[in-house]
Amino acid sequence: MSLERETRRLGAGPCRAYSASVLAVVLSVLAVGGCAREGTGYTFALVPKAMNNPFFDFAREGCMQAAADLEDVECLYIGPSEHTEADQIQVVEDLITRRVDGIAVSPSNATAMARALARANEVGIPVITWDSDLLAEDAGLRTTYIGTENRAMGVEQAKLLQKLKPDGGTICIQSGGAAAMNHNERMQGFRDTLAGADSGEPPGKRLEGANKWTEVAACPLYTNDDFPLAVQQMADILASAPDLDVFSITGGFPQFVDQAYRQAVEPYRERIESKDLVIIGADVLPMQLDLLAEGLSHGQVGQRPYAMGYRSMEVLLQLVAGQSVEDPIYTGLDVLTGTEDVEAFRSSSTRRTTPVPAIRR
């Protein structure tokens, strides 16, 4: 994978994409006053899993808006250009060396990131997680988590499925990275709800006939946030398991490349329309709303990335001011099941900075 990384910040200036070979030099320049630190104030870093994921673009917008709204706050949006765990660790280590004023990170690998964040604690840099959290045993390394209640997201997906397929069936779950805590928590909520039992810890116990639900042998599928791969995985499993009842996704992966997704599911349109094949998605980005309105998904459980980015800046400012904050801070969910929901969602504000009751259908 490419090792290119990007830096983006509020306002004009010479910040742009840099290759990995020069990023360390660029960061050292920024630390002494380049484009990331102009005058006084605080520089807070928002670190996504990948810069090429449209979900995180909304978090970046929230982060930058917060920087515009708050006094003396700058949003430094920086991460690996692609979903690469080692690159994300390097980005965080560079930020610690630079001594930014606070770090908000969505860990791709919870265990590995904990080791990096231990150093941030040692040098006194406030740390929070967003979108995806650390493991429970490492939670003390960050002050709070901001984002989706991920187990609840999986529960909502399962509830949609139970209404559509009350008699159970065969399932394929498609997830992100195998070490991503948020996706594992969603799988646990999904599996536990269908099984009617608490498995104890993420990613939950594999469904092997509980309440007539069974996961097919080739699944779960792990995309590592590679969207073309996600579409290919989906096409392959639909072809190799022609009687599959459910394809459930813990993130937006194949739907983020919507034209390729349409091509992958088009051969199964009749099965989808009759609900012989049910597709349950995650997230409610614009292209996903189109797919839902077209009947190419039966339900989407959406997160609020804009709120995650916005609240991350607010909370880091509170922490450097010595204030206490809640842990966790949940940003809410939206549950959409058809054209009516899509129209209602589009007519409301999709850039919510505070939790509001989820849409239920």
| Residues in CB range of 141: below 8 A, 6 or more apart | 114, 117, 118, 120, 121, 127, 134
Q: Which helix (H) or strand (E) holds 175?
A: strand 169-175
Bridge partners of residue 336, in order along the sequence: 300
Separation of alpha carbons 86 and 89, rounded Å: 5
Separation of alpha carbons 276 and 290, rounded Å: 21
Token output for 15: 């910040």
Q: Per CATH, which fold does 5-148+305-330 belong to? A: Rossmann fold (3.40.50)
Q: Which pLDDT score, from 0 to 100, does residue 206 have? A: 98
Give residue limits of the domains in the chain.
5-148+305-330, 150-302+335-347
- Identical fold for domains 5-148+305-330 and 150-302+335-347, yes or no, is yes
The candidate with the shortest Cα–Cα distance to 248, out of 260, 230, 224, 271, is 230
Report the sign of the C-alpha dihedral through residues 321, 323, 324, 325, in that order: negative
pLDDT digits (tens, 9 = 90+) for 47-61: 999 999 999 999 999
The candidate with the shortest Cα–Cα distance to 143, out of 353, 310, 326, 304, is 326
Regions of the chain with pLDDT less than 70: 1-39, 349-361
Q: Which pLDDT score, from 0 to 100, does residue 186 have? A: 98
Q: Which pLDDT score, from 0 to 100, does residue 348 have? A: 87
Token output for 318: 């509170």
Class of the CATH-defined domain 150-302+335-347: alpha beta
